[in-house]
Structure 1
Amino acid sequence: MIRKTLLATTLLLPVLSGGCVAKAAFDVVTLPVKAAGKAVDWTTTSQSEADRNYGKKMRKAEEREGAERKQWEKECRQHKRNDCDRYEGYRARD
């Protein structure tokens, strides 16, 4: 009698628990796959990140070019040179 009750309870436990045991087992099995996926996401650069980084790099280069050009023009005016229109300094490029 006790065996039958124990067996019935054991068999009905997953049904009565609403699949919690099955869900927990599924989570344990899929955890390494999810962790590996996160690691790949952290180590790779998406296209939007690459575009954002490239834009940032180009803005800094243009800013550096502007500052250099301004400094060059200032020095040119101070020394009253005739070649002030031929700036051949840094150009922002890839």
Structure 2
Amino acid sequence: MRRLLILAAAGLPLLSGGCIAKTIVDVATLPVRATGQVVDWSTTSQEESDRNYGRKMREREAREGKERKKRDKECRKNPHKCEAYDGYRAGPDGD
């Protein structure tokens, strides 16, 4: 009986096809993979940065377009009050 138990325990890794070893490796590497994922979530990629900058510039240009349109409408109503456009300018200096 004891001999059968020892043989079964010795043969178990061979029958499992390495599943136990793979599980041990997966458990051991889990903290490293989790840390890598956290770093990935906490940093901004260049592509994401470019996308955000493009969105920001489109919003600025839309704001400038609305302001210019409003000014042009006012100038058509009261041409004697119109002066050179001195409103919002889209771009890094526009804030």
- TM > 0.5: yes
* Equivalent residue, structure 1, for 2:90: 92
CA distance in 2, matches of 1:61, 1:81: 29
* Equivalent residue, structure 1, for 2:63: 64
Compare 45-54 and 8-17 and name the one that shifted more.
Answer: 8-17
Instruction: Spell out the pairing of 1:1-94 with structure 2 (5 A cutoff).
Output: 2-81=1-80, 83-84=82-83, 86-94=84-92
Could you tell me which runs of 5 or more consecutive residues in structure 1 were left unpaired when the two chains were aligned.
none
CA distance in 1, matches of 2:74, 2:63: 17
TM-score, normalised to structure 2's length?
0.86
**1:51-78: per-residue Cα shift (whole Å, max 9, x none)?**
0000000000000000001111111121
CA distance in 1, matches of 2:18, 2:36: 26
> Segments of 4+ in structure 1 off by > 3 A?
none
> Counterpart amino acid of 1:6?
L
CA distance in 2, matches of 1:39, 1:81: 61
Q: CA deviation at 1:10?
A: 1.6
TM-score, normalised to structure 1's length?
0.87
Number of residue-to-residue matches in the alignment: 92
